[in-house]
Amino acid sequence: MISGLKREKLINNYSVKKMKTKLSLLLIAIAGLFTQAQNTEACSENLQLMAQDYKDKNVVSAYDYLTLLRKDCPSFHKTIYSYGELVIKMKIEKATTPQDKEKYARDLMKFYDEHDLNFPNNGAGNKMKKGLVLFDNKLGTDKEIYDLLDNAFKTDYANFKYAKAMYVYFEILVKDFKAGNKGVELQQIFDKYDDLSQKLVEEEDELTNEKDGLLSKEEAGETLADKEIKRKEKIESNLEIFAGVKNDMDNIILELSTCDKLIPFYQKGFESNKGNEEWLKRAANRLEAKGCDTDPLFSKISEALYKLNPSAEAAEKLGVVEYQRKNISKSMDYFNQAADLYKDNSKKANVYYKMASIYSKSNKVQARNYARKALAVKPSYGKAYLLIAQLYGSSINDCGNDQFEKRAMYWLAAQYCDKAGAADSSIKGLASKTAASYRAAAPSKTEIFQSGKAGQRIAFNCWVGESVVVPSIGK
């Protein structure tokens, strides 16, 4: 038996040891926190120094700080990777030998992997960027570049956002097809074109939706902030790039998709694919885009598509079929059905514009109505403004009490051309040229002086129902 005194002593010794252990653990924890604070402070300082050196174009020092950050602070902050990318790109740009250029290009690819490792789901599109690094720096083979871009497109579709990447991806595949490389068939080219065209449309829609919001603010009389103005300019620049890439892709595939080639190609595949909605949709789209929609095959494919699923796309295609058959009323029924079913504003606007174009040949009021509908859902749809301008420019004999007032209609038409250019930068050149031709046809300064109507408002009490102010002399 342990005596009471001895038991008390043992308990006290145990308590002391326990307290010492706790104190030691506490000191270790405090030391750890202190070290962590020191590391955090060092990481923050090095990040700031790297950013400042980059801004000062001090590439050597910036890269040295980046090296420290990659080693000691890889997960400290995402800004390491946004600035780090710029620093390494600057190293590539300033490389004086092919060896150094390749060294830093490979380092950039490794850096992208580090970014994805330390900040998963960062949305930076690093998989896609790796393919572009090889392409931009003339490294690797076409196959290596294609494989990287193909992997990015299939596994990181949402962040495959660069127009250049889309073009390179498609161009390499077409090059392989033309070279007769095994495994690359015409259907694969068409499928890839369709996939990338859809991606281009998605990216364009995202930008135009943002731009439409800014245009709506301007239309409502609100003044855009400097930041919003710069963003609008950036959006317009990006839209021009996307339009250019789409045009280049169209030109590449043009020789492969003439009606002489497309019709027998799709005729051959129809029976085995008449229950395949995606195949039918893409075949109909391509035949229409290439002006092959007068061929009976287009009708057969469109009818099969609608029977399979009376979707917006299917209804739109049958609208084209009925128009080709000169059944205008039935055509419009299908187009209206398509417009009602479409959720995407760009597609909805396209249908309304198509209807406006058809009516422009027979019913100017209806043509303008549908052009306005297109603009209501998509304010950046500049072509609709141009169509209205055309309608007004062709109505000078329908409006006005005398020759001066009739020709005053050209000023109104020119104003709509101006709106077209402001809404859609991709048609700015055409809009400006068309506006100039209308203004040249309007009354001259001499005629304005002789009329005595300078600064007066002329109302067009015809179907137009609008008015225009006669320019002051000297303007």
Q: What is the pLDDT of residues 288-311, one digit of tens each?
A: 988 899 999 999 999 999 999 999
Choose the weakest-confidence range: 37-41, 260-264, 445-449.
37-41
The pLDDT value given to residue 425: 86
Rg (CA), the chain: 33
473 and 409 housed in the same domain: yes
- Least confident stretch, 15-19, 38-42, 104-108: 15-19
Pair of tokens at residue 390? 């055309």
Enumerate the H helices of 309-344 as residue ranges.
312-324, 328-341
pTM: 0.66
Say whether both 31 and 111 belong to one domain: yes
How far is C-alpha 356 from the chain's CA centre?
A: 25
More confident residue, 51 or 219: 51
Indicate the helix (H) or strand (E) that contains 457: strand 457-459
Tokens of 118: 């330390």
Note the pLDDT of residue 261.
Answer: 85
What distances in angstroms separate CA 202 from CA 159, 163, 311, 437, one per listed residue?
12, 12, 19, 35
Is residue 131 a part of any domain in this protein?
A: yes
pLDDT interval class at 14 (50, 70, 90): very low
How far is it, in rounded angstroms, from Cα 190 to Cα 180?
A: 16
Residues 385, 462 within the same domain: yes
Average pLDDT, the chain: 89
B/e letters for 142-164, b = 16+ CB within 10 Å, e = fewer, are: beebbebbbebbeebeebbbbbe
Q: Is residue 353 part of a domain?
A: no
d(CA 158, CA 192): 16
Report whether pLDDT(93) > 80: yes
Tokens at residue 260, please?
């002489």
Site of tokens 């300064």: 445
Q: Are 146 and 173 in contact (CB under 8 A)?
A: yes
For residue 359, being part of any structural domain is answered with: no
Q: Which helix (H) or strand (E) holds 469?
A: strand 467-469
In a domain, 344, yes or no: no
- Whether the per-residue pLDDT at 427 is higher than 70: the answer is yes
Are 99 and 114 contained in the same domain? yes
According to the model, what pLDDT value does residue 445 have?
93
Domain membership of residue 450 (yes or no) is: yes
Distance from C-alpha of 326 to C-alpha of 332, rounded to nearest angstrom: 11
Query: In whole angstroms, what is the distance from residue 72 CA to residue 84 CA?
Result: 14
**Where does a domain end: 202, 229, 249?**
249
Q: What is the pLDDT of residue 11?
A: 39
Domain of residue 168: give its range: 126-249
Identify the pLDDT of residue 32. 44
- pLDDT value for 30: 42
Query: How would you class 387 by CB atoms within 10 Å of its CB: exposed for 0-12, middle for 13-18, buried for 19 or more?
Result: buried
Claim to verify: residue 382 and residue 467 sit in the same structural domain: yes
Pair of tokens at residue 178: 């033309």
For residues 347 and 366, the answer to whether their CB atoms sit within 8 Å is: no
Residue 473 lies in a domain: yes
Confidence of residue 156 (pLDDT cuts 50, 70, 90): very high
Last residue of a domain, one of 104, 124, 144: 124
Q: Which residues contact 2 (CB under 8 A, 6 or more apart)?
A: 10
Q: What is the DSSP letter of 366?
A: H
What is the band of 38 on the pLDDT scale with cuts at 50, 70, 90? Answer: very low
CA triple 300-306-308, angle to 5 deg: 100
**Which of 84, 99, 124 lies at the terminal end of a domain, its last residue?**
124
Lowest mean pLDDT among 79-83, 129-133, 194-198, 299-303: 194-198
368 lies in a domain?
no
Task: Please report whether residue 307 resides in a domain.
Answer: no
Number of domain units in the chain: 3
Residues 38-54: what's their mean pLDDT? 89
pLDDT at 9: 47
Examine the pLDDT at 33 and tell me if it is beyond 60.
no
